[in-house]
Amino acid sequence: MPFSDIRGQDRPVEIIKAYIKNGRLEGGYLFTGPAAIGKKMTAKILSQALNCIGNNNEACGLCPSCLKIERNNHPDVHIISNDESQVNPVRNTMQGNVNKMVSNGVKIDAIRRLQKEISLKAYEGRFKVFIIDNAHTLTSEASNCLLKVLEEPPRGSLIILVTDKPNLLFKTITSRCKVLKFRAIKREELEAVLKKDYGLDNGFAHFLAYFSEGRLGEALKLKDTDILNFKNSIIDKFAVPSTLNIEGIKVEDRRDVRLSLNILSAWFRDLYFMKSGMPDLELINYDRRPDLLKTVNRFSHAQLYRIVNVISNTMSYLEHNINTRLLLYNLKAELWAK
Instruction: From 18-26, 53-61, 91-99, 213-221, give the range in contact with Zn ion by CB under 5 A.
Output: 53-61
As measured in angstroms, the least distance from the Cβ of 49 to Zn ion is 8
CB of 78 to Zn ion, least distance (A): 18
* Farthest-apart Cα atoms in the chain, separation: 67
Shortest CB 43 distance to Zn ion, Å? 16
Phi and psi dihedrals of 249, rounded to 5?
-70, 125
According to the binding rule CB under 5 A, does residue 60 interact with Zn ion? yes
**What is the distance between the alpha carbons of residues 338 and 43, in angstroms, rounded to a whole number?**
46
The residue range among 65-73, 150-158, 287-295, 323-331 that interacts with Zn ion, by the rule CB under 5 A, is 65-73
Which span (66-74, 142-150, 225-233, 260-268) binds Zn ion, by CB under 5 A?
A: 66-74
Contact 30, 163 (CB under 8 A): yes
If the CB atoms of residues 52 and 132 are measured against Zn ion, the closer one turns out to be 52
Taking contact as CB under 5 A, which single stretch among the options 58-66, 214-222, 259-267, 295-303 is the one that binds Zn ion? Answer: 58-66
Q: How many helices (H) and strands (E) are present in the chain, helices listed first?
A: 14, 6
Rounded to the nearest whole angstrom, what is the least distance from the CB of residue 245 to Zn ion in the complex?
54
Quick check: 66 binds Zn ion (CB under 5 A)? yes
Which helix (H) or strand (E) covers residue 32, if one does? Answer: strand 27-32
Q: Does 67 bind Zn ion (CB under 5 A)?
A: no
At 29, the amino acid letter reads: Y
- Check residue 63 for interaction with Zn ion (CB under 5 A): yes
By CB under 5 A, tell whether 20 contacts Zn ion: no
Whether the CB-CB separation of 193 and 62 falls below 8 Å is answered with no
How many residues in the shown chain lie near Zn ion by CB under 5 A? 5
Which helix (H) or strand (E) segment holds residue 307: the answer is: helix 301-319
String of contacts with Zn ion for each residue 33-52, x by CB under 5 A: -------------------x
Nearest approach, Cβ of 74 to Zn ion (angstroms)? 11
- If you write DSSP's letter for every residue of 56-108 in order, what string do you get? SSS--S-SHHHHHHHTT--TTEEEEE--GGG------GGGT---EE-SSSB-H
Does 263 interact with Zn ion (rule: CB under 5 A)? no
CA–CA dist 306, 291 (Å, integer): 21
For Zn ion, the closer of residues 58 and 218 by Cβ is: 58
* Closest CB to Zn ion among residues 56, 242: 56
Cβ count near 290 (within 10 Å): 8
Q: Sheet harboring 77-81: ordered strands across?
A: 100-101, 77-81, 128-132, 157-163, 27-32, 177-181
**Residue 66 or 161 with smaller CB distance to Zn ion:** 66
Q: Using CB under 5 A, list all residues that contact Zn ion.
A: 52, 54, 60, 63, 66
